[in-house]
Amino acid sequence: MRYISRLQALVVAAALLACSSVLAESLNAKNIRPSGLTADQAKQVLLVVLKHQHYKMSNPDMWIDGPWQGEEKGTLFRAGYYDFGLVFNNPKGAASNVLGHFAVNILTGDVWETESCERFSSATLSGIQKRISVQTGKKLANEEVARSEIGCE
């Protein structure tokens, strides 16, 4: 019985790694402009993070809202970032729940949960961020600078 549970854990871990790798590969570095990520590319980066955080994005009741717009037409909610919300539509209730607010840096792929001021990191995300940085010429900001940009001072 113990052997089966270890095997199941390995299969699940391999599946998660494969999904993250497929998403990471779909963000082709050649398609990243020197001016940074498109909204769709930023959403792909966020999906890698959400899957790493064990959100079941295959659930049809869960979706990513955004990117959010600024007050002026054609502007971003937060300069230099695409902001998104993770929403869960509770099928048993009449309400949708926002599970998190996220920001993805356009030039670096830096990803933050903006309510808790949590900066995400993983091996897969780091690889994606390196590919983005090569195309844009920008590196991840240090913790203090990045916190200030996000409004987490």
Number of separate domains in the chain: 1
Is 26 a residue whose pLDDT tops 60? Answer: no
For the chain, what percent of residues have pLDDT higher than 90? 56
Determine the Cα–Cα distance for residues 147 and 153; give it in Å rounded to an integer. Answer: 6
Range of the domain at 22: 2-150
Kindly list the distances between the CA atom of residue 15 and the CA atoms of 20, 55, 62, 63, 135, in Å, as whole numbers in the listed order: 9, 14, 20, 21, 29
| Predicted local confidence at residue 29, as pLDDT | 64
**What tens digit of pLDDT does each residue of 109-139 get?**
999 999 999 999 999 999 999 999 999 999 9
The pTM score is 0.79
| Predicted local confidence at residue 97, as pLDDT | 87
| Predicted local confidence at residue 90, as pLDDT | 82
Q: Helix/strand/coil (H, E, C) string of the chain?
A: CHHHHHHHHHHHHHHHHHHHHHHHHHCCHHHCECCECCHHHHHHHHHHHHHHCCCCCCCCCEEEECCCECCCCCCECECCEEEEEEEEECCCCCCEEEEEEEEEECCCCCEEECCCCEECCCHHHHHHHHHHHHHHCCCCCCHHHHHHHHCCC
Place of tokens 């998104």: 84
CATH code, domain with 77: 3.10.450.170
